[in-house]
Amino acid sequence: MDNQRDSELVIQQWLKAHERNRKGERKRRISGGLGHAETLFLKQVWWPAFMRLEGLHPEYEVKDFKDGSRFIDFAYFAGDLKLCIEIDGYGSHWRDLTRWQFADHLMRQNQLVIDGWHVLRFAYEEIKDKPRKCQQTIQQFLGRSQTSGDAQLKGHKLNSYERDLVRLFHAHGKISVRTASEFLHLSTDRARRVIAGMVDKELLLPARPELRRIHHYVLAP
């Protein structure tokens, strides 16, 4: 199965799992599948950047500052981190807003921040035409939020590739050179050199050192 078909299958299974665990309006909003922009975000931004969907929730319900509720496109949870991701299209929805509707929209986002949420917004055009830029934005945010303590490990200052790999190792436990190559968008040889450098710094270890041919690596304790 190729990578694209594999990712589509994983996304479908993930969405069905969320649907099974929901009721009422929360279930209805995803029962027919996600919208085009949200699906494109998963396929072109989130999955290529992280290759996992754990912690990500589609059409997530949050309490409204007017004592009601609203739905955000995606919510991501990791420990104490709460990240709201919204995809905005440049269309009639925005052009037809009244001044007070626009003010209400901004106040809703302010309330999310007050309630401890971080908010990232992406234009549909960027997701479609510049997905790598969107990937880097999320990776930079999560890298700063989740791995600030890993910016320097064992006395070594990490470069951007190494920080991204540390985050990937935290998520998956062990990874291969091929996985690192796809995640970093580097050639296999270049990814192998990055990993070799981290092994030299004693940041990584072979997952099974007894084997002559090393297939996977893990973070050093």
Tell me how far apart the alpha carbons of residues 44 and 160 are, in angstroms, rounded to a whole number.
21
Structure confidence at residue 195 (pLDDT): 94
Lowest mean pLDDT among 37-41, 117-121, 125-129, 212-216: 212-216
- Model pLDDT for residues 8-26, shown as the tens digit of each residue: 889 999 999 999 989 888 9
- Model pLDDT for residues 136-162, shown as the tens digit of each residue: 899 878 866 655 444 445 556 778 888
202 and 157, same structural domain?
Answer: yes
For residue 187, the enclosing domain spans: 149-219
The pTM of this model reads 0.66
Structure confidence at residue 133 (pLDDT): 92
Tell me how far apart the alpha carbons of residues 25 and 34 are, in angstroms, rounded to a whole number.
14
CB 7 within 8 Å of CB 41:
no
**% the chain with pLDDT above 90:** 37
172 and 119, same structural domain?
Answer: no
Last residue of a domain, one of 143, 161, 183: 143
Query: Under 8 Å CB-to-CB from 141, ≥6 apart: which residues?
Result: 83, 118, 120
50 and 26, same structural domain?
Answer: yes
132 and 75, same structural domain?
Answer: yes
CB 202 within 8 Å of CB 154:
yes
